[in-house]
Amino acid sequence: MKHLLVHEDERAAAGQGHEEELWGRCAGVEGMFVDEVPPPREVLTLRGCAPEGPLRDALTPGGESTTSLGDVCVEVWGEERPWQWWSLLDCVVIGSRPNRDDPALVDVVVGAGVEEEHAWSDTLPAAPRFKLFAGPARTLGPAGHCLAVDGLFVERDDPAPTPMTLVGCEPAEPLLAVLRRPRGRERDRVGLWALDRTGRVMHRHHVYLGVESARPSVLGGALLDIELTDGGDDRPPRSARPIWETWYEGAPATRNQWAPLRAEGRSAWLDLTATGMSGQGPDRRGGVHHLDGRHATDAPGLHCALAEALAGPGGYYGREWNAFKDCLHGGFGVAAPFTLIWHDADVARRALADDIWDTEQGLSYFEEIVRLLESHGVTVVLR
């Protein structure tokens, strides 16, 4: 059996963690790896813009060029705070023209995929303001503001669910009770835990038991194949499958096993390190840690190398800047002060030179990581 179904009842132990109950085991899961389908392309108008930064740079006097802005974040503000924010994915400028009511402003026509990132209110404030940010997903910078976004507030179809099948499932009584009740009842949320060959939990995913069908398993015996209407969000991409197969053999014991992977594979590797992030013991302070920088050719690779330097092969020490900052505060096995000797630091310095994190000071991602380490009392020696 490679997967467990675990029900986590947080209400049963309010204030004291949560209780876990085994609902079943299964030999495999069909539909665990799914590539995210991008939203359909739409045409929108940023009306009454005062452009800054990348948006200003993208506009030509004739307004006829097609220029990529990367991802654009649209924050919808009331008087004191943002009420909503939206993502315009892979946004390109199609054209522009002076605003009819105020020629000092400009209307910008863009094409993008639209996603609502967060909604604090279903209604707009009385006098909304629209702030724009553009650039690479992790390093959005100010792009100005506008009076309205035509085409933003329209009804969109929810993406079609992607089913998942639990193959060769051996259900415990709570899961059997779910299977006996009528379809369409309230769905239970359970953890789907992937195990490696030693029985260690390798990855945790959550699904709602919206059961489409249950039938005798193709594996025979008393096992069942249970098809779920939707396998849930945040499933790993199909490119992660070979990384999972590597980890299935056991937690990594040697360094740089991630090095041959591309950025997407390295991100999948970091996701698997996060499963064991709470089991690294009390913090160790002081000492010298060596970072092998030869393969830190992108941001995920940099975090793979940092994690191995501080937590060992397969260890967790953040997957990106914010999580890395949290780890430096303690609770993840190693805490400042300590010394980090960064070997072959020029590899990351050159590779991340154009990945600007601090747009105000023009610091690259590499420089920002060094500054973050030093601000937390780490002595960084670049070699």
Q: What percent of the chain has pLDDT over 90?
A: 73
**pLDDT value of residue 281:** 66
The better pLDDT of the pair 65, 316 is held by 316
**pLDDT value of residue 66:** 62
**pLDDT value of residue 12:** 45
Mean pLDDT of 181-194: 82
**pLDDT value of residue 355:** 83
Look at residue 24 and give its three-state secondary structure: strand
C-alpha angle 310/313/317, rounded to 5°?
40
Mean pLDDT of 297-326: 95
Average pLDDT along the chain? 90
Query: In this predicted structure, which of 64-78, 259-273, 316-330 has the lowest mean pLDDT?
Result: 64-78
Q: What is the pLDDT of residues 33-42, one digit of tens each?
A: 999 889 999 9
Provide the CATH number for the domain formed by 257-382 in this structure. 3.30.370.10
Q: What is the pLDDT of residues 328-346, one digit of tens each?
A: 998 899 999 999 999 999 9
Please, which pLDDT band fits residue 136 given cuts at 50, 70 and 90? Answer: low
Specify which residues 87 forms β-bridges with: 73, 115
Half-sphere exposure of 351 (CA within 13 A, CB side): 17
Q: What percent of the chain has pLDDT over 70?
A: 91
Please, which pLDDT band fits residue 13 given cuts at 50, 70 and 90? Answer: very low
Q: What is the pLDDT of residues 219-259, one digit of tens each?
A: 999 999 999 999 998 899 999 999 999 999 999 999 999 99
CA 25 to chain centre: 27
- Would you state the structure tokens that stand for residue 360, as one six-digit string? 């105000």
Cα separation of 298 and 68, whole Å?
22
C-alpha angle 70/72/75, rounded to 5°?
170
Half-sphere exposure of 64 (CA within 13 A, CB side): 1
**pLDDT value of residue 140:** 74
Mean pLDDT of 83-104: 93
**pLDDT value of residue 14:** 46
Per-position DSSP letters for 271-284, written without gaps between them: HHHGGGTT-S-S-E
Q: What is the pLDDT of residues 288-299, one digit of tens each?
A: 999 999 999 999
The phi and psi torsions of 372 (rounded to 5 degrees) equal: -65, -45
Mean pLDDT of 45-70: 82
Q: What is the pLDDT of residues 142-179, one digit of tens each?
A: 899 999 999 999 989 888 899 999 999 999 999 999 99
Print burial letters for 104-124: b (CB count within 10 Å at least 16), e (below 16).
ebbbbbbebebeeeeeeeeee
Cα separation of 257 and 113, whole Å?
36
